[in-house]
């Protein structure tokens, strides 16, 4: 929406188009009514379109200030400055010259502010690499193999056939398989999880390596960024 100050300035410029007895013929009342209706609705592009058409027809200098004010509110700073300067070149009253100069100063401040504004950060590129697929596949394989080893060890431990020595040997083997299976499952889950986290946090030019070492009683995961 147009600010109250902008409405007042545009209205003043439009009204002043009728105020100069020695100026070119002002736009007719129908055009002025349409312009007022458009800026009352907040339709700045429509206001600019009508003002440009009116100026092309009448060459009335007061319309230059109104166009400059519309360009300012549309954040077209350079265009606003140019129209303000054109308006000043028509030798209007000093009070209106001061208003136009204020508009020029404000537009230049906004232009400088835009130049000084830091550019928006570049979106992070979450590139999924072939190494990520391989690492996740290794992690998934480790989970599958560890699960199979765990349940095989459980099956061995539930086998009570044979002699007591046979049962003790199977129990030791079952315990080894279960510990190894648990270690593999943990290592696989960590590997896949670290790969996903690395993908989410990887810098644009960064790289990382994940290595997994699993033994019968422990698993070690090493991450190198």
Q: How far apart are alpha carbons 217 and 214 in whole angstroms?
A: 8
pLDDT over 70 percentage in the chain: 76
The per-residue pLDDT for range 180-221, each reduced to its tens digit, is: 888 888 888 898 888 888 777 776 544 445 555 555 445 555
- Between 18 and 140, name the one with better pLDDT: 140
Q: Mean pLDDT, the chain, as a whole number?
A: 78
Distance CA 53, CA 62 (A): 14
171 Cβ contact partners less than 8 Å away, ≥ 6 residues apart: 156, 157
State the residue for tokens 């593999």.
Answer: 184
Lowest mean pLDDT among 98-107, 126-135, 137-146: 126-135
Residue 107 has what pLDDT? 94
Q: Which of 208, 224, 199, 209 is nearest to 126 (CA)?
A: 199
Q: Which fold has domain 4-116?
A: 1.25.40
Instruction: Answer for the pair 192, 139: CB distance below 8 angstroms, yes or no.
Output: yes
Give the length of the chain: 225
pTM for this entry: 0.49
DSSP letter assigned to residue 210? E
- Residues 47, 53: Cα–Cα separation, whole Å: 10
Q: What pLDDT is recorded for position 214?
A: 52
Dump pLDDT digits (tens) for 46-73. 989 988 998 888 888 888 998 999 999 9
Please indicate whether residue 178 or residue 12 has the higher confidence score (pLDDT). 178
The reported pLDDT for the residue numbered 7 is: 47
Q: Look at residue 42 in the predicted model and tell me its pLDDT.
A: 86
User: What percent of the chain is modeled with pLDDT above 90?
Assistant: 21
């Amino acid at each position: 929406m147009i600010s109250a100050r902008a409405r007042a300035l545009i209205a003043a410029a439009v009204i002043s188009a009728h105020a100069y007895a020695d100026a070119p013929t002002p736009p007719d009342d129908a055009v002025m009514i349409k312009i007022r209706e458009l800026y009352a609705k907040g339709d700045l592009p429509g206001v600019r379109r009508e003002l440009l058409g009116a100026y092309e027809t009448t060459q009335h200098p007061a319309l230059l200030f109104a166009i400059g004010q519309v360009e300012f509110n549309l954040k077209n700073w350079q265009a606003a400055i140019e129209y303000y300067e054109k308006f000043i070149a028509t030798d209007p009253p000093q009070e209106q010259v001061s208003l136009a100069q204020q508009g020029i100063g404000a537009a230049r401040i906004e232009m400088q502010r835009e130049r000084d504004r830091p550019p928006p950060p570049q979106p992070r590129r979450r590139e999924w690499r072939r190494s990520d697929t391989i690492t996740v596949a290794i992690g998934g394989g480790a989970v599958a193999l560890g699960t199979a080893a765990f349940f095989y060890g459980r099956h061995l431990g539930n086998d009570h056939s044979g002699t007591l020595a046979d049962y003790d040997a199977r129990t030791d083997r079952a315990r080894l398989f279960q510990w190894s299976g648990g270690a593999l499952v943990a290592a696989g889950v960590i590997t896949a999880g670290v790969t996903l986290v690395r993908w989410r946090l990887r810098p644009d030019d960064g790289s990382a390596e994940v290595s997994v070492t699993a033994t019968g009683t422990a698993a070690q995961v090493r991450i190198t960024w």
